[in-house]
Chains A and B, each alone.
Chain A
Amino acid sequence: MEKLNKLPKIYLTAVFIILYAPIFYLIFYSFNSGGGMSNFESFTLEHYAAVFEDTRLLVILINTIIVALLSALISTAIGVLGAIAILFMRNKAMRNAVLSLNNILIVSPDVIIGASFLILFTMIGVKLGFASVLISHIAFSIPIVVIMVLPKLQEMSPTLIDAALDLGATKRDVLTRVIIPFIKPGILAGFFLALTYSLDDFAVTFFVTGNGFSTLSVEIYSMARAGITLTINALSGLIFLITVVLVIGYYMISRKAKSPLAGVRK
């Protein structure tokens, strides 16, 4: 890569400062022993202690993580199969139609998706709670996974599959030993994107939570009505930390996933 000269570097730094400053400002004041966000008195961890003392908040935090993990996992499985099905569709018009339907779901506002889920769940009598949140998160994550996986599939040469079949691979072998290893980076990217979407989703979740089940974003929204307390700052700090860990985890895994392929190419 060409070396960056000065101006782009300054620009880049400025953009990152603008993007990260509010987050760090928030986290900075989570260590403030004074009550508010206006003047920093002295360092304290009491707001973090308050988060861990509040079992309700902890339960909600864990709920959020469980929903994110499970919905990302299930939607990845469904999304990958869906992407493969789209790739192998013979009828081009049909393929484009399915793909467009998929994309519409990504573009359509969360509020509409959330409201329609609420109506659906209450109509068929699903009790609002863990199941309703999980199902809706899976549903809005699937199109994202499809979009992440499909380019990888299209990148794959069809001759690869023909070669495998010629060499006596069964259809099952082709799927598990040729296609899936090839698109693994796409699968990982889809999984992590679905994970982050689920973690921070507010609009859809807002509609389908109920009966004491809640996720962090919805809970923070209700809490913020009574004024932002520093507990929310501490909580946000923790979530930021989890996100950073996730990104690092993704980086490690995708590096590991890439290396064997690189070996093959050599």
Chain B
Amino acid sequence: MKDILRGAAIILIVSAILLFVNAKLNEGGGSAGKNSITVYNWGEYIDPDLLKQFTKETGIKVIYETFDSNEGMMGKIEQGGTAYDITMPSEYMIEMMKEKDLLLPIDYSKVPNVKNIDPYFLDLPFDPSNQYSLPYFWGTVGIAYNPTLLEGQTFERWDDLWDPSLTQDVILVDSARETIGMGLNSLGFSLNSTDVDQLRQATDKLKALSPNVKAVIGDEVTPLMINGEAAVSLTWSGQAADMMYENEDIDYVVPEEGSNLWFDNMVIPRTSKNIDGAHAFINFMLDAEVAAQNADYVGYSTPNLAALDLMDPEVTQDERFYPNEETRSHLEVYRNLGLEMLGVYNELFLEFKMDMK
């Protein structure tokens, strides 16, 4: 009995010491007082040095937490019991969060740095006049390919994927909106089409692609492309940037028929306890130098015009990640199509997958 009690005492003491160490570590940004904000962001989606810099400049401590999907993030916020001050949903999720009244409007008198953002990325249909959100990073959907595995073949259009020489070479992404969207785009229809006839045509066209399809998978595609085990894949630009960073042979193209333009945006959830702090954070992230440093670290495309001047021109003039006006005019942002239409997309996507041999 005695040694059990002794063991328990040792455990308590060790826990106390660890708690103390943790408190010390937490203090480690030289922060002052209780003034803090909680930021809820995607994993690996910010330069950690910037959080320290923010604390140094404003005296506001940052508690940082990560999520892995829009849906999981909204679940946590909707359920309550949390006090996130900033989070970064994708555009379609903003529409849903707006509907559920989970967002606080942004007070622009506290965010002067909004002037740095490219007007092209403001006032978009998912959040008219940016009442609730400001863009954090953006990107496109396109084709990543490895020419060395394809005898130098290149891609310009979605239709190039249907080339008979690509038998069993193409990897698609396991997501209904992207894959059906590719079918719609290749036929010149809108990505947000709710016309059943157009959707049917797109699905039929996708079915014709099935001899070329090697697999329909998720994020696992990145290592496959890097290791040269796959030659062509439908990917998001951010993912393509990761691939190209690891394997110089890989190239990325936004097909000329048009494609998706996506955003992750900073918003202030209704659960926020430090609304001023949240505004200060948004303003800080929109600062030209900060945005440039962050874009450099994360590798995604920044919507911050002022930051572009501070970045390596080789990056900012790369039309694969910062497409020109002409390409941009073909890009389309996803709209929230409602549950019913989403069901139709999912069903057609399933039909396509079932049809594959």
Give me the interface of A with B, judged by CB distance under 8 Å.
35-38, 54-56, 58-59, 62-63, 65-66, 69-70, 72-73, 77, 118-119, 121-122, 125-128, 132, 176-177, 180-181, 184, 187, 209-214, 219, 221-229, 257
* B63 interface hit (Cβ, 8 Å): yes
Within 8 Å by CB of A211, from B12, B63, B227, lies B63
Is there an interface contact between A214 and B65, defined as CB atoms closer than 8 Å?
A: yes
In the bound complex, residues from chain A placing their C-beta under 8 Å from that of B35 are: none
Minimum CB–CB distance from A260 to chain B (whole Å) comes to: 10
Within 8 Å by CB of B80, from A122, A212, A228, lies A122
Q: How far is the CA of A11 from the CA of B206 in the complex (A)?
A: 48
Minimum CB–CB distance from B177 to chain A (whole Å) comes to: 18
Is there an interface contact between A36 and B246, defined as CB atoms closer than 8 Å?
A: yes
Identity of the chain A residue whose Cβ is nearest the Cβ of B227 in the assembled complex? A38
Chain B 65-106, CB within 8 Å of chain A: the 1/0 string? 111110000001001111110000000000000000000000
Q: How far is the CA of A65 from the CA of B26 in the complex (A)?
A: 16
Within 8 Å by CB of A122, from B44, B66, B79, lies B79
Minimum CB–CB distance from A195 to chain B (whole Å) comes to: 10
Q: 7 smallest A-B Cβ distances: which pairs?
A: A212-B63, A226-B44, A222-B43, A222-B66, A210-B82, A122-B81, A225-B68
Q: How far is the CA of A118 from the CA of B82 in the complex (A)?
A: 11
Identity of the chain B residue whose Cβ is nearest the Cβ of A179 in the assembled complex? B1
Is there an interface contact between A59 and B15, defined as CB atoms closer than 8 Å?
A: no
In the bound complex, residues from chain A placing their C-beta under 8 Å from that of B242 are: 226-227
Q: Which residues of chain B (207-240) have a CB below 8 Å from chain A?
A: 219, 222-223, 226-227
Is there an interface contact between B18 and A66, defined as CB atoms closer than 8 Å?
A: yes
Give me the interface of B with A, judged by CB distance under 8 Å.
1, 3-4, 8, 11-12, 14-15, 18-19, 21-22, 25-26, 28, 38, 42-45, 48, 63-69, 76, 79-84, 219, 222-223, 226-227, 242, 246
Is there an interface contact between B68 and A210, defined as CB atoms closer than 8 Å?
A: no
Is there an interface contact between B83 and A211, defined as CB atoms closer than 8 Å?
A: yes
Q: List 22 A-B contacts (CB under 8 A).
A: A38-B227, A55-B25, A55-B26, A56-B64, A59-B22, A62-B18, A62-B22, A69-B11, A69-B15, A70-B11, A73-B8, A73-B12, A118-B81, A119-B79, A127-B81, A128-B76, A209-B65, A211-B83, A223-B43, A225-B42, A226-B45, A227-B222
Contact flag A55-B28 (CB < 8 Å), given A63-B22, A127-B81, A128-B82: yes
Minimum CB–CB distance from A204 to chain B (whole Å) comes to: 14
New A-B contacts (11) at CB < 8 Å, excluding given A119-B79, A121-B81, A125-B81:
A56-B64, A69-B18, A122-B79, A128-B76, A211-B83, A212-B63, A222-B43, A223-B44, A224-B68, A225-B43, A229-B44
Which of B1, B67, B68, B81 gathers the greatest number of chain A CB atoms within 10 Å?
B81
